[in-house]
Structure 1
Amino acid sequence: MSNGSNRTLVPQAREGLNKFKMEAAQEVGVNLTNGYNGDLTSRQNGSVGGQMVKKMVEQYEKNL
């Protein structure tokens, strides 16, 4: 059962997060579309999430 942990805590950030996700997908060569992406593999989805985390860590380290 879902506990709602996958919700956007700041609703105004949703557009920015979606743009960030699309950029990360493009960088790793995953054809992500707006809407349903259930045809993607776990590996493809994981590579997008991994790229997002990598870029967030890089940005954090840059701002130290």
Structure 2
Amino acid sequence: MARNNQLVVPQAKAALDRMKVEIAQEHGIAFSPDGYNGNLVTRDAGTIGGNITRRLVQMAEQTLGGRI
């Protein structure tokens, strides 16, 4: 299966991985940063992904807000 979610800035991978673990911990979700996470229920995976998106949007808004 081809992966289409390639990072535009490959150096950001470590920061995104840390963000995943941090969000999982905040929500009490058992998450293995360097192992198998196939046991996550869809709701938990969605919680992690949704919060990552929320934080990235907030970061972009702050960055853009300083320029406008």
Instruction: Report TM bin, short chain.
Output: 0.7 to 0.9
Q: TM-score, normalised by structure 1?
A: 0.77
1:36 paired residue number:
36
Structure 2 gaps of 5+ residues are none
Question: Which structure is richer in relative contact order (CA contacts within 8 A, separation 6 or more)?
Answer: 1
- CA-to-aligned-CA distance 1:13-62 (integer Å, 9 cap, x gap): 32222111111212222111121011110111010000101111111122
Q: Secondary structure at 1:30's aligned position in 2?
A: coil
Percent identity (aligned): 37
Q: Measure, in 2, the Cα distance between the counterparts of 1:18 and 1:42.
A: 18
Q: Measure, in 2, the Cα distance between the counterparts of 1:62 and 1:10.
A: 19
- Give the RMSD, CA atoms, in angstroms: 1.7
1:60 paired residue number:
60
Structure with larger Rg: 2
Q: Measure, in 1, the Cα distance between the counterparts of 2:2 and 2:8.
A: 14
Runs of 4+, deviation exceeding 6 Å: none
Alignment: residue pair count: 63
